[in-house]
Structure 1
Amino acid sequence: MAQTDITATNFLQTRRSVPAKMLGLPVPNRAALMPLLTAALRVPDHGKLEPWRLLVLEKGALARIATLATARAATLGYDAEKTAKGSAQFETGNLAVAVISSPKPSDKIPAVEQVYSAGAVCLSLLNAALAAGWGANWLSGWPSHDAGFTNAAFGTAPHETVAGIIHIGTPTNMPPERPRPDLGAVVEWVAQ
């Protein structure tokens, strides 16, 4: 039987994100962020393609990106509510890491598996931040799915997408626990 790491198992069974709007200062400095980024990149990466890249967004960059989101929303004709929702995470953020999915040409590794690897980077970074005592939240929103915005904000190439934007900071508040999935409703045991 495998030996259980009780601390890690307990963390994974009880971890919870902190809403980005409940993250304040201080944020991890570069030295504190490096171990989190190192942990984030220890994900399944079939073929060692490294089909992702990370952009660490500090306060000034987030402010610039918020302005780009507002301008892009105007270009697209979005209403005030959708515009505000799209720019708010950048306006109010103090530190975020954009995880860019950047699939590489491969005859062996399907592009979809490479995209999944980028998603794994998002979750690994989120969990690394939480395990280190920070608050963290994985966001996306319409700006993350708009190629015109992502190209201007993050320099994405045509084959790249935003897997997620991980906000990291000090929790200013904790939301109440939310209902979790009912294992009986989502797990099926297949014996044959």
Structure 2
Amino acid sequence: MPERNDAALEFLLTRRSRPAKTLTGPGPMRDELMPILTAAARTPDHGKLEPWRFIVVEKPALERLGHQVTARGEALGIDPAKITKERHAYDTSPLAVVVVESPKASDKVPAIEQTYSAGAACLALLNAALASGWGANWLSGWASLDRDFIRDGFGLEDHESVAGILHIGTQTVAPPERPRPDVDAITQWIKD
């Protein structure tokens, strides 16, 4: 029988993201964030391509990005309520980590596997932040899909995209448990 890690399993069975609107400062300092980033970098990565990278966005940059969200949203004619909602995450977050999908040319590793690896890095980052005692939430939103915003705001190259934005801070309230998938209903067993 394999050796169990009951604490890790219990964490995974009970983990719960903290809504970004319930996060406040302080956020993790650099020395507190480095183990979280290190854990996220241990994500599955077929071919060792590192098809992702991290951008740590501190409070002054979040404020600048909030202004850019408003300007870009207005330029695109986005509903003001959607602009306000998007900007709120930047205005209230004490710190964010942008996981950038940065695919590499490979004859062996299809682009879709690299995309999945970037998504896995997001989840690993989220879980590492939560396991470290921080509140954390994985968000994206319309601005993270806008080429002009991600180029001007984050400095992304044309071949790169935002896999996720992880907001990390001090949790003010724990959210109530929400309904989870019925695992029996979504699982198929093949015996023969």
TM interval, shorter chain, is: over 0.9
Partner of 1:26: 26
Partner of 1:41: 41
TM-score (norm 1): 0.98
Aligned length: 192
CA positional deviation for 1:149: 1.0
Letter in 2 for 1:4: R
Partner of 2:85: 85
Q: Distance in 2 between matches of 1:97 and 1:82?
A: 22
Letter in 1 for 2:82: K
TM-score (norm 2): 0.98
> For residues 1-192 of structure 1, what are the structure 2 equivalents within 5 Å?
1-192=1-192
Q: Distance in 2 between matches of 1:79 and 1:102?
A: 30
Q: Distance in 1 between matches of 2:85 and 2:191?
A: 46
CA positional deviation for 1:85: 1.7
* Structure 2 runs not aligned, ≥5 long: none
* Structure 1 runs not aligned, ≥5 long: none
Letter in 2 for 1:73: G
Q: Distance in 2 between matches of 1:119 and 1:163?
A: 6
Letter in 1 for 2:4: T
SS of 2:176's equivalent in the other structure is coil
CA positional deviation for 1:73: 0.4
